[in-house]
A and B are shown apart, each in its own frame.
Chain A
Amino acid sequence: MTHTYVDGNALAGPLADLFAVDLTTAVLRCAGCGRTGPLAGLHVYQKAPGLVARCPGCQAVMVRLARTPTRVHLDLHGTLALAVSLPS
């Protein structure tokens, strides 16, 4: 069961509930190993109570997103920094 993840692209819709910009192109820095890369490149595990996105380098959890009927919970404590390109 090593191939049970999809790409960070899968977070595009769920994150659109919260953010006005597309975060899949945002560049994130992993708090575990310092690697940087686009959110779209993270490994997303969907078979969980929420969505869990891990660093493709060290597998540390970088993003957790869960929703209930009334709330959205976003945990970014595995992400040190997040850079979003502004529209030109």
Chain B
Amino acid sequence: MAGGTVRRLAWRVATLVDGTPETASARTMTFHVPDWPGHLAGQHVDLRLTAEDGYQAQRSYSLAAPADADRITLTIQRVPDGEVSPYLTDTMKPGDPVEVRGPVGGWFVWRPDSTAPVLLVAGGSGVVPLAAMIRARRAAGSRVPFRLLYSVRTPADRYYSADLAGPLDGVDVTYAYTRAVPDGWPRPPGRIGVADVNTHGWPADLAPECFVCGPTGFVEAVADILVALGHDPRRIKTERFGPTGG
């Protein structure tokens, strides 16, 4: 402590325990992180790779589930030509190390002692922190009613299909496909609109907590819809991930 800055949040070496394909382009990965301090649903970690020449690349990923002792779970979407994600999804093997820092972020979080109804709106891989909230609800035995509206290109692009298929007591899950739908699906493919949010969300009168996560344009559109439907902007929390990623 004698002069200089103190490293408040240290990088730790995590080890990949297990990696399972989530879709054709995404992988759910469980890491062992010694002395992991625990986290809240919605928080994320920074992950850092160092090349042999010392070049470092760093990305932020949402935690996908409550911590299981010293184990954390992420779902990584492969970004074509990305610097970091293709290594994680395609190359990294169990036993391989990577540096992580976290948990970070205390705003886009759901706390199990919260009593307000919850609306989750996911665009694509934005479902990851929202699935963490559903899992945290279950782990805590919370009875707070949840609704998830999940916009995704095609049925094959859905994350966590088995988990979200239910039965999920008190969690309603609705899919809104943008490119292709299953046979006999009542809703034609298309982007989420006012009717989707109005039908599958909560009335503003119930003062739900709203969490919206996805690409920036998606989040912008959904947040505008929620405000137009009368939701208090202060109860709409957003997490945008940009077009860069990688």
For B166, the chain A residues whose CB sits under 8 A away are none
A window 1-30: CB within 8 A of B: 3-10, 12-13, 16-20, 22, 24-25
List residues 213-236 of chain B with CB under 8 A from any CB of chain A.
215-217, 220
Stretch touching chain A among B102-110, B130-138, B144-152: B102-110
Q: Are A22 and B106 in contact (CB under 8 A)?
A: yes
**Chain B 88-141 residues near chain A, CB threshold 8 A:** 101-102, 104-108
Assess the A4–B108 pair: CB atoms within 8 A.
Answer: no
Cβ-based interface call for B178 (8 A): no
Tell me the smallest distance from the CB of B113 to a CB of chain A, in Å: 12
B22 contacts across to A, CB distance below 8 A: none
**A3 touching B104 by the CB < 8 A rule?**
no
Q: What chain B residues lie within 8 Å of A72 (beta carbons)?
A: 5
A24 near B242: Cβ-Cβ < 8 Å? no
Task: Please give the distance in Å from A87's CB to the nearest CB on chain B.
Answer: 11
Q: Which of A38, A39, A46 has a CB less than 8 Å from the CB of B242? A: A46
Bound complex: CA A3 to CA B112 (Å):
33
Cβ of A7 and Cβ of B240 under 8 Å apart?
A: yes
Chain B proximity of A81: nearest CB distance (Å): 18
Check B106 against A13 for contact (C-beta < 8 Å). Answer: no
Contact B8 A5 (CB under 8 A): no
Chain B interface extent, by class: 20 to 34
A9 contacts B217, C-beta separation under 8 Å = no
Judge if A47 is at the interface, Cβ distance under 8 Å.
yes
CB-based contact A17/B9 at 8 Å = yes
CB <8 Å contact, A5 and B106:
no
Q: Closest A residue to B106 by CB, please name it.
A: A22
Contact of B105 among A4, A19, A24 (CB under 8 A): A24
Whether A6 contacts B242 by the Cβ 8 Å rule is: yes
- Does A55 make an interface contact (CB < 8 A)? no
The answer for the CA separation of A17 and B104 in the assembled complex, in Å, is 11
Contacts of B8 in A (CB 8 A): 16-20
User: Given the complex, which residues of A lie within 8 Å of B58, measured CB to CB?
Assistant: 13
Chain B, residues 1-38, CB within 8 Å of chain A (1/0): the string is 00001011100000000000000000000000000000
A62 proximal to B (CB < 8 A): no
Which are the 10 A-B pairs with shortest beta-carbon distances? A40-B107, A12-B104, A13-B46, A16-B9, A22-B106, A12-B105, A3-B216, A6-B242, A24-B107, A13-B104
Residues of A near any B CB (own CB < 8 A): 3-10, 12-13, 16-20, 22, 24-25, 38-41, 46-47, 72
